[in-house]
A and B are shown apart, each in its own frame.
Chain A
Amino acid sequence: MVASMENIVKRYQAHTALDHMNLTIHQGETLGLLGPNGAGKTTAIRVLTGLTTADAGETRLFGTEMKGAALAVKRRIGVVPQDLALYETLSARDNLNYFGRLYGVRGHDLKNRVDEVLELLGLTDVAKKAPKKFSGGMKRRLNIGCAIIHRPELLILDEPTVGIDPQSRNHILSFVEGMAKAGTTVLYTSHYMEEVERVCSRVLIMDAGHVIANGSVEELTKAAIFEETVTLEVREAAPDLPDSVKKVQGVQRCEPDGRSLTVTSAAGSQNLARIIECAAPYVILSVAAKRPTLEDAFLALTGKKLRDNGGEGI
């Protein structure tokens, strides 16, 4: 076990940011921490990395309780903060050098490692430039680079893709996948479902300061989703279709909309073939079965949409 938090409580004045938060990170996994803005993800990371002390509960990293300095443990983790944490006026190389040195990397090793990381993150050409001149995506990549110079065993990324172009996002996600493949344990925080679904082997869903669900993406969606929907589109008007579809076992609702029909069934009904059968007399233009996603799981678990609060936390 790489890290654990047990019944962590963290209050800011009257506000409880973490309310009996529990978390375990296993060796080699990529754990997603998913939750809307304000769920307490960043606070959890701050407690985990010793930036702030919890009001109650116990945090362990590599078997050591995180208390006070805990320097030996800090050396084994790399933290990519949610907000850019760089010296914007210094060059990319200077930034990497600085954070590398703080972790005790030096001399030839430092130089080689900085070159390696620049290459890995596609920043070799701009190594001498200051990040204040970088695009959002490049800054984000450098922000990550500064956390991995010392080859951490546990890499913690706090919403590393907020506010960047799809290409940079893809680059970062591939990078995380690469790190995971190479054996690094990863804690990946996000409020983007697609990212977590793509890179994480296990997901914790967090809301209001504690974890409300824990499992693989499939387990979570299966457990939380009670409905499945299929949308049929036919060429001519089909007035009898809704009535015949409604008779199919498991179907709960039928909502016609012009020439298309959205059919909602109980989860696990396995009735798609029969629904299509009903439509056989007509010319079917398309059938779309929507697979449940983490987004749906979250909605089902909390009654809230993940990103309905507008504030993107950029």
Chain B
Amino acid sequence: MRGFLATFAVGFKSLWKSPVSVFILIAFPILLILILGTALSTYISADIELEPAPMAVAAEEGGPLRAFLASPDISPFFELTYTDAAEAEALTKSGDVICAVVEGGDGSLDVLSQSQISFTAQIALSILDSYQRIGAAAAAAATEGGDIAAALGMDLSVTDMPLGKRAPSATDYYAVTMLVMILLYTGLNGVELFSKGMLSDTGRRARTAPISKAALVGGLLAASTVTSFLQGMVTFVFSGVVYGVYWGERIPLVLATLFAVVLLSQALCLFLLMLFRHPGAAGGAAQAFFWVSTFVSGGYTKVSFGPADAVFQYAPNAMAHTVIFGSIFGGNEGKMMFCLAALFGLGLLFYVLSFILGRRRFS
């Protein structure tokens, strides 16, 4: 215990003074600002490339809504399925479409939206919103002095489905993906601290002291894990306070996921260090892996890899995204819990592998 606490304290202190850790602490939040800034500006810029949003339409044939959606300015934004109201709702629930618009008998519009992490859905909703406004304006113009809504005889109400409080904005999206990425990179703290405190001459000296190897290793790992998590929390709080990022109502679940990412990252980095026996090589390999994992998980920009997505959804970032977005905006609980367990499980696995490799090395 004495060795553990002393090592924890010294590791903790030294990490807050190390360049790697300062980089994670300072550079990443700055990066976050830049990326969020870019994300926000592309969101409002006109030349962003959109995939057509799959949408179900239950509307009168030859009616104004169908005509509107078919017009050349609007049609590129949608991939339309014409159907009836019940079917439209079912398609939305099953996720085959990201939203459905249902024309009521009285001319009102009901928009059912599958909460989705996509700009496309946002755009689709705002287009429908404009449709209503244009219609209202036209109606107001036709019956001068009249009550616009009454004149139009329709009312647009947007209902989020299934659980979501609201749909994520680009800021929300990047706040989550960037934070996951940042926490993944904190494994580099571990590489640095473990090399210093265990493998270097300094570590060798500590190993001549009358403390168990477990206390030394445990102290270093705990210091690195706690520091990394706290560093992630700086960005977490920052994103909420400065950008008003909405982290949902299940904060413990979000934090547990972030912690799982930290553990996995520490464990993976430790494993690579034991494998390559060289901090530079381990750090390099870890960074390459983090980059790929972030990329295929849509951490840098939302991308689709077609059939490969079936595999990429199990990349560490992607699993963390699944849990966090699910907890904020609603998602499949079973899949979320699977992903969370998988993150912890992978962390454990890499710790065990590191231990096996390390035993061989330090015996």
Q: Do A and B come from one complex?
A: yes
CB of A79 within 8 A of CB of B208, answer yes
CB of B211 within 8 A of CB of A81, answer no
Q: Tell me if A101 is interfacial: C-beta within 8 Å of chain B.
A: yes
Chain B residues with CB below 8 A from A50, complex form: 208
Q: Tell me if A71 is interfacial: C-beta within 8 Å of chain B.
A: yes
Total number of residue pairs linking A and B with CB closer than 8 Å: 72
Chain B residues with CB below 8 A from A79, complex form: 205, 208
Q: Which residues of B1-49 have CB atoms within 8 Å of chain A's CB atoms? A: 2-3, 5-7, 9-10, 13-14, 17-18
Chain B residues with CB below 8 A from A98, complex form: 6-7, 9-10
Of the stretches B96-104, B196-204, B239-247, the one at the interface is: B196-204
Chain A residues with CB below 8 A from B2, complex form: 101-102, 104, 106
B363 nearest in chain A by CB position: A53
Report the Cα distance A84→B18, complex, angstroms.
18
A132 nearest in chain B by CB position: B17
Of the stretches A8-16, A86-94, A177-185, A223-231, the one at the interface is: A86-94
A51, A69, A89, A104: which contacts B212 (Cβ < 8 A)? A69
Q: Tell me if B337 is interfacial: C-beta within 8 Å of chain A.
A: no
Nearest CB of B to A264, in Å = 45
Q: Tell me if A99 is interfacial: C-beta within 8 Å of chain B.
A: yes
CB of A94 within 8 A of CB of B10, answer yes
Nearest CB of B to A75, in Å = 4
Q: Tell me if B206 is interfacial: C-beta within 8 Å of chain A.
A: yes
CB of B6 within 8 A of CB of A102, answer yes
B13, B207, B210 — which one has the most chain A CB atoms within 10 A of its CB? B210
Nearest CB of A to B202, in Å = 4
Q: Which residues of B64-123 have CB atoms within 8 Å of chain A's CB atoms? A: none
A84, A85, A106 — which one has the most chain B CB atoms within 10 A of its CB? A85
Chain A residues with CB below 8 A from B201, complex form: 81, 83-85
Q: Which residues of A95-137 have CB atoms within 8 Å of chain B's CB atoms? A: 98-99, 101-104, 106, 130
Q: Known contacts A87-B14, A89-B17, A94-B10; decide if A99 and B209 are in contact (CB<8 Å).
A: yes
Tally B residues with Cβ within 8 Å of A: 27
Q: Which residues of A219-261 have CB atoms within 8 Å of chain B's CB atoms? A: none
Chain B residues with CB below 8 A from A71, complex form: 210-212
Report the Cα distance A158→B204, complex, angstroms.
13
CB of A85 within 8 A of CB of B10, answer no
Dominant SS at the A interface? loop
Chain B residues with CB below 8 A from A84, complex form: 201
Q: Tell me if A146 is interfacial: C-beta within 8 Å of chain B.
A: yes
Report the Cα distance A50→B213, complex, angstroms.
12
Q: Known contacts A98-B6, A101-B6, A102-B6; decide if A85 and B210 are in contact (CB<8 Å).
A: no
Chain B residues with CB below 8 A from A101, complex form: 2-3, 5-6
B197 nearest in chain A by CB position: A87
A76 nearest in chain B by CB position: B210
Report the Cα distance A84→B205, complex, angstroms.
10
Chain B residues with CB below 8 A from A89, complex form: 14, 17-18
Nearest CB of A to B107, in Å = 71
Q: Known contacts A71-B212, A102-B3, A102-B210; decide if A81 and B204 are in contact (CB<8 Å).
A: yes
Chain A residues with CB below 8 A from B206, complex form: 99, 102
Q: Tell me if A49 is interfacial: C-beta within 8 Å of chain B.
A: yes
Chain B residues with CB below 8 A from A103, complex form: 209-210
Chain B residues with CB below 8 A from A102, complex form: 2-3, 6-7, 206, 209-211
Report the Cα distance A53→B200, complex, angstroms.
18
CB of A74 within 8 A of CB of B210, answer yes
Q: Tell me if A72 is interfacial: C-beta within 8 Å of chain B.
A: yes
Beyond known contacts A98-B9, A146-B205: 9 more, CB 8 A cutoff: A50-B208, A53-B363, A74-B210, A75-B210, A85-B201, A87-B202, A90-B14, A94-B10, A106-B2
Instruction: Pick 16 A–B contacts, CB within 8 A, sort by A.
Output: A51-B208, A69-B212, A69-B213, A71-B210, A71-B211, A71-B212, A74-B209, A81-B205, A85-B201, A85-B203, A90-B14, A99-B206, A99-B209, A102-B7, A102-B209, A102-B211
A-B pairs, top 5 by smallest CB distance, nearest first, are A101-B6, A102-B209, A85-B205, A85-B201, A74-B210
Q: Taking beta carbons and an 8 Å cutoff, which residues of B are in contact with A?
A: 2-3, 5-7, 9-10, 13-14, 17-18, 196, 200-213, 363
